[in-house]
Structure 1
């Protein structure tokens, strides 16, 4: 990794951070759509639709068109879900990063900078459910800068910050479709401790699973 600097977020980074986040999330649309197609309920609906129209119309054209429209609708639904999540995030914690992360106790937001250009982000906050743990969030690296060790450096930055403040572990959440992220976290020593399906109607149908990972840290000092 050359010419890469990890530094704290500055207010002038706001728009580029949102851009990196939005592009990073949008990249998961194809893998999420593929995940949906592999689910038995999806395959059953497509097969039943095709067979029913085939039997009633005695034509290949109508069932093929119907299945194509269903697939297009399913993909549009995935795009809508991700766009909604991106919009909600940009209006919540990413709306005022300094206030949300830099001014709160045991929270921080960092960017990775290459030759003056922000190319990656990560942040952490105290986890709401696991006492004594910080939560790694908003990890994203521009596609053209991946494979350079930036994500690993961002992970280490969060781990060092967590250890310095005397917390026992880092917690993070990722999804079943983010296989590259899972490999990264496991390589960095994170252990998968829990799987859960997002409790919403469509995500239950899709079996969209959220994975919880934990990195236990050796404590060198007590928390202030």
Structure 2
């Protein structure tokens, strides 16, 4: 029964989102380039030297329809063919200068219409929307979900700088945090490198690429602080955040810490959900006007390990 309900919920979302995309497509993909032709132009631009078969298989286009599109684009000087040096039977497709101009116009139109769609959303709702989309993409990505090798390890020379970079890039892109936040992160990491007694920093790697981090620093002999917990949004839904959290808390227990606390902000809903899952409780709130144009609410969360 639960399985049927899950299927129906997914189909319900699919119907709703298809309608949303349909409204955008109607505004963007008008004649003389309907939706499928615009997708072909986009794919040729991205691949820059692909065969018609590769485009057809990627987009799921009928062989005859694809042939007509290629012929039309050749006649209208949108694309040109070049014989493959590896296989003389194959011809590679490229956009002409005119074709690139068309592609750029499609991108501008798409950006404008999507901008209209999200202009009424608050920053909080927009960040939730982006995170949810990244989660869906991650879950259904074969590369991330089924073929990726995930590992958690202690930091090595060169990792700390990348952890700062990951924070700055992710929080600027997702939440609009400014330079003061990046300075705050780098300052703390620099102090950690000078004195890491009682703590450790771990990075999460996917196929050898650093995609997240977490750290424990010693506040005193009995109290630890959890810091620099971040995960690239493209890798949500793979259980990496859970692995990082369990690594950090296991370290605290091994070091016989009796209490762990952390500071976060109220807009980080995915992280707050994870903290609640691991029995952290919200204990303090304070305003922060330094990182973005509006006021953030910083939150302190605490976990008492002595009760375990």
Shared fold per TM-score greater than 0.5: yes
**Other-structure match for 1:208:** 296
Deviations 1:34-59 (A, max 9, x none): xxxxxxxxxxxxxxxxxxxxxxxxxx
Contact 2:164/2:185, CA 8 A, preserved across alignment: no
Map 1:25-64 to 2 at 5 A: 25-29=171-175
Match of 1:110 among 175, 199, 202: 202
Distance 2:259 2:194 in 1: 24
Asked whether the 8 Å contact 1:192–1:214 carries over to 2, the reply is yes
- CA shift, 1:132, in A, is 2.0
Q: Which residue of 2 aligns with 1:122?
A: 214
1:3 match = 149
Q: Secondary structure at the match of 1:11?
A: coil
> Aligned to 2:275, which of 185, 189, 192?
185
Partner of 1:17: 163
SS at match of 2:275: helix
Partner of 1:194: 284
Cα offset, 1:105, TM superposition: 1.9
Query: Aligned partners of 1:119 and 1:29: how far apart in 2?
Result: 18
Would you say the 8 A contact 2:199–2:216 is kept in 1? yes
Select which of 250, 265, 270 maps to 1:160.
Answer: 250
The Cα shift of 1:207 comes to 5.0
Residue 180 of structure 2: aligned partner: 84
Instruction: Report if aligned partners of 2:168, 2:181 keep a CA contact under 8 Å in 1.
Output: no
Q: C-alpha offsets along residues 63-85 of structure 1, whole Å, 9 cap, x if unaligned?
A: xxxxxxxxxxxxxxxx5xx2222
Q: Which residue of 2 aligns with 1:38?
A: none
Structure 1: segments with no counterpart, 5+ residues: 31-78
Q: 1:187 & 1:134 partners in 2: Cα distance?
A: 19
Return 5+ residue gaps in structure 2 as ranges.
1-144
- Which piece of structure 1 moves more, 7-16 or 163-172? 7-16
Q: Would you say 1:148 and 2:238 are equivalent positions?
A: yes
SS at match of 1:26: helix
Deviation, structure 1 residue 153 = 1.0
In 1, the alpha carbon distance for the partners of 2:246 and 2:166 equals 20
Q: Which has the larger radius of gyration?
A: 2
Q: TM-score, normalised by structure 1?
A: 0.62
Aligned-pair distance for 1:208? 2.7
TM-score (norm 2): 0.47
Kept in 1: contact 2:284–2:301 (CA 8 A): yes
For residues 134 and 27 of structure 1, what CA distance do their matches in structure 2 show?
Answer: 30
How many residue pairs align between the two structures? 161
User: What secondary structure sits across from 1:112 in the alignment?
Assistant: strand
Cα distance in 1, alignment partners of residues 160 and 302 from structure 2: 29
Counterpart in 2 of 1:61? Answer: none
Measure, in 1, the Cα distance between the counterparts of 2:255 and 2:231.
26
Which residue is equivalent to 1:69? Answer: none
Q: Report if aligned partners of 2:223, 2:258 keep a CA contact under 8 Å in 1.
A: yes
Which of structures 1 and 2 has the larger relative contact order (alpha carbons within 8 angstroms, sep 6+)? 1
